[in-house]
Chain A
Amino acid sequence: MERSGLSVELVGLSRYYKDVAALSSLDLKAEAGELVVLLGPSGCGKTTALRALAGLERLDEGTVSIGGRDVTGLAPSKRNIGMVFQSYSLFPNMTARANVEFGLRVRKMSSAQRAERSSEMLELVGLKAQADRFPHQLSGGQQQRVALARALAIKPEVLLLDEPLSALDAKVRSLLREEIRRIQLELGITTFFVTHDQEEALALADRIAVMNGGRLEQFGSPLEVYSHPATEFVAEFVGSVNRVQGVVGETGKVLVDELGVVEYHTAGNSGYSRGDAVEVLVRPEAIGLAQDPTGGCSIVGQSFLGASVKVKVATTRGSILTCELSPLEASQLDFGGAVSLYMKGPALLLSRRTGISSASAVEAQSAMS
Chain B
Amino acid sequence: MSTVLSPTSDQGTGGNGVVVASSGSSRRRPRRGRWHNSIGTVPFLVYLALFLGVPAISVIVTAFVNGSGHPTLSNFNEAVHGVYLQSFVASLKLSFGAAIISTVVGLLAALAVCSSSNRILRAIVTAGSGVFANTGGVPLAFSFVATVGNFGLITKLLSDAGFNPYNHGFSLYSVLGLTIVYQYFLIPLMILIMIPPIDALRKEWVDASSSLGATRTQFWRWVGIPLLLPPILAAFIVLFTDSFAAYATAEALTSGTIPLVPIQLGSLISGNVLAGQTNLGDALGAGMIFIVVVAGGLYIYVQRKASRWLR
Contact = CB atoms under 8 A, between A and B. Distances in A.
Given A76-B210, A106-B212, A106-B214, A124 B204 contact: no
B10 A175 contact: yes
B6 A126 contact: yes
Kindly name the residue among B2, B17, B18 whose own CB sees the greatest number of chain A CB atoms within 10 A.
B17
B211 interface: yes
Contacts of B17: 133-134, 136-138
Contacts of B2: 186
Contact of A93 (B7, B11, B207, B223): B223
B210 A56 contact: yes
B227 interface: yes
B13 A56 contact: no
Given A89-B207, A126-B5, A142-B15, A134 B309 contact: yes
Contacts, number: 148
Interface string A44-86: 0000000100111000000000000000000111111111010
A191 to B, nearest CB: 14
Contacts of A83: 207-208, 211
Contacts of B19: 139
A30 to B, nearest CB: 18
Given A102-B214, A150-B212, A182 B3 contact: yes
B4 A139 contact: no
Interface string A295-329: 00000000000000000000000000000000000
A128 to B, nearest CB: 7
Contact of B222 (A102, A134, A168): A102
Contact of A106 (B18, B207, B213): B213
Contacts of A134: 17, 309-310
B196 interface: no
A136 B16 contact: yes
A136 B14 CA distance: 10
A100 to B, nearest CB: 10
Contact of A85 (B5, B13, B15, B204): B204
B202 A141 contact: no
B290 interface: no
B209 interface: yes
A89 B202 contact: yes
Most chain B beta carbons < 10 A, residue from A124, A139, A154: A139
A322 B6 CA distance: 40
A112 interface: no
Contacts of B212: 77, 82, 102-103, 106, 150-151, 154
Contacts of A105: 222
A27 to B, nearest CB: 24
B9 A137 contact: no
B170 interface: no
Contacts of A93: 223, 226-227, 307, 309
Contacts of B163: none
A123 interface: yes
A89 B205 contact: yes
B15 A128 contact: no
Interface string B16-28: 1111000000000
29 contacts: A76-B207, A76-B211, A77-B212, A78-B213, A85-B208, A91-B208, A92-B310, A93-B223, A93-B309, A94-B309, A102-B212, A120-B1, A127-B7, A128-B7, A130-B7, A133-B17, A134-B310, A136-B310, A138-B15, A139-B14, A139-B15, A140-B14, A143-B15, A154-B212, A154-B213, A168-B13, A171-B10, A171-B13, A186-B2
Given A91-B223, A94-B223, A145-B5, 13 more contacts: A77-B215, A80-B213, A103-B213, A103-B214, A126-B6, A133-B18, A137-B15, A138-B15, A141-B13, A168-B10, A171-B10, A175-B9, A175-B10
Interface of A: 1, 51, 54-56, 75-83, 85, 87, 89-95, 102-103, 105-107, 120, 123-130, 133-143, 145, 147, 150-151, 154, 160, 168-169, 171-172, 175-176, 179, 182, 186
